Structure 1
Amino acid sequence: MIKTVVYGFIAISILFSCAQKESPVPETEAAWISLFNGENLDGWFIRGDARWEVRDSVLTGIDGMGHIYAEPQLADLEVKGLFRVSDKGNSGLYFRCQPPEDDPNGFPRGYEAQIDNHSDAFTGWLWKPGTPTAKANALITQDDEWFALRVRAVGDFIQIWVNDSLMTEHHDAEYQRGHFAIQGHNEGMMIEARELYYRDLSQPSSAE
Structure 2
Amino acid sequence: MKRLIRLYPARWRRQYGDEMSQVLDDLRPMSLRTRIRVALDLLRGVVDAHLTAGRSRAPEIGAALRRAFLAAGIVWVALSIEIVLSNVVFPTTEDTDGASVLISYLAVFGAFVIIGVLTARVTSDWRVLALAGGTTGVVIGALTIGTYAVIDNVFLDVISRQQAKIDGLAGSGYTSMRTYVNLSLLFGAGLLSVFLGVVGAGLAVTGGLARPRRTGSPYRPVP
Answer yes or no: same fold by TM over 0.5. no
TM-score, reference length from structure 1 = 0.28
Tell which has more relative contact order, 1 or 2 (C-alpha 8 A, sep 6+). 1
Computing the radius of gyration over CA atoms, which structure comes out larger, 1 or 2? 2
- Higher strand proportion: 1
- Higher helix proportion: 2
TM-score, reference length from structure 2 = 0.27
